[in-house]
Structures are given as structure tokens and as C-alpha cells.
Structure 1
Amino acid sequence: MNEAWGTVVALVGEQATIRIDETGCGRCRQPGGCGGSQAATLFCHTPRTFCVPNPDGRQVGERVQVVLAGGSLGRSALHAYVQPLLALLGGALAGSAIAGEAGAIGGSVAGLLLGWLLLRRAQMRWRQEHGLQPSIRS
């Protein structure tokens, strides 16, 4: 399970918007740590927020622990990085076999587009699966 601490910043109906307090592995600021939290601030200045179900009725300002189901982060990373790459390579190989270098270029673009469409489809499907959504630990 992946866990992070955050603060409830807004309530909208049955949902709570959580601002994650820290990023990184916990050793970022320690000597010999990776420094990932400092590197992340170079690319993203806005705090990370998530909208999660609020069954316990948490209030604004309350500190909560947000939990992501085990395996869901790895599964989504696999789909986000590997699936479009394989589609790109498959399209390039198929295009190359059909029309040489120009076919490889066209096939790689078509494969990348197909990989993106498959990823969007999977994302829409995962939004409906409650087991893959972040939740507030009681």
C-alpha cells in the first residue's frame, strides 16, 4: 500500500479535496537521501491535491492519511509508460515492413496515437473501479 499524509482543504458533497503535505520517500531531507522532493519543486510548484471519498465526514483543516491500493500505482505506471512505447514500436515495425522508412515513421505515429487512445480508455475504465481510487484511512 502507498500512503501519504495530507490536509483536507475543501469539501464538495461526499468528496474531500486533500492537499498532500510532502512528496518523496521520507529520506529526501536527510543526509544521503535522494533529494527527490527538492527536484520535484523544480518541475511542479503547485501542491498536489486529490479528490477522494469522505465517508467519515472529515472537516476542512483536518490532517488525514491518504491510501492507494497496493499494486495500483505500479499497474498505472506500466500502462502509462510501457503500453504507448510498445504500440509505437509495433507501429514502426509494421510500417517498416509495409513501406520502408516512410512507413516506419507513419506507423510509429499511428502506433503512438493508438497507445494514447488505449491509455485514455483504460483511464476512463479505472475511474469506475473504487478499489483503484485513493481513500482516507480511518
Structure 2
Amino acid sequence: MSTSPKTREPREDRAEPAEFAAFLVGHLNGRVHATISDEFSALLTAVSEHGRKGALVIKVNVEPSKGHVEGDPLAISVETALKAPKSVPPAAIYFVDDDGRPTRNDPRQMALEFRTAPTTNEFKDA
């Protein structure tokens, strides 16, 4: 026994509701289900890779025909919105020099001159 959504009174004339999963698998010969499965897989991969949350929103639109008469066909469409996390490049630290340009070296620090040390293959015994 089911209830009417408007009156919430028991109605004997309605069958069990259709299974949503069965509808989704059959909609547009399975193309929508395949697309949603691919997007879901991409979401799982992105969340595992980036360690941040994401979402896959599935929206089912149902529209009556113009000049609706009971028993007329309904237009049903399915939309998806994938919100997968993306990589965030790390920030780098820069200083600003006297001319207002970014530099990796602290302009307040004195620069040290480096020279290459001579190389040798001989080892001293200690």
C-alpha cells in the first residue's frame, strides 16, 4: 500500500515505486549510468590522491508536457556535476628587494662569496 504525496492518504491503486538504480542503468541505453560511473571513479581517484573531499551531484529533472493532461508522457533528464579536488601547488618564499622585485635571497643579508674547493682522490690516514 502506498500513500499519495499530496494527501498522505492510503491509495490502493498504485504499484510499488520504480527502483531508481534500475531507471539509471536503463536511461538513454545506459550512457548516463556509464558517465556517472566514470565520474565517480575519477572522484575516488582524486580524493585518494589529494587527501581532500569532493562531491558528485546527480540531478534528475522531470518535466510534464505543455498543457499537461494526466497520463501524458514526462520528460526526464539526468545532470551531473563533478567537484573533484585538484592539486594545489605549494607556495614559495620570496623577499622583495629595494626595487620592488621578488627575490629568493634576503636583501638584508650580506652575500657570501663561494669558491669551489680543489678536489683530490687521495685520503689521509687518521
Q: How does the TM-score come out when normalised to structure 2?
A: 0.28
Q: How does the TM-score come out when normalised to structure 1?
A: 0.26
Structure number, greater radius of gyration:
2
- Give the number of the structure whose residues are more often helix, by fraction: 1
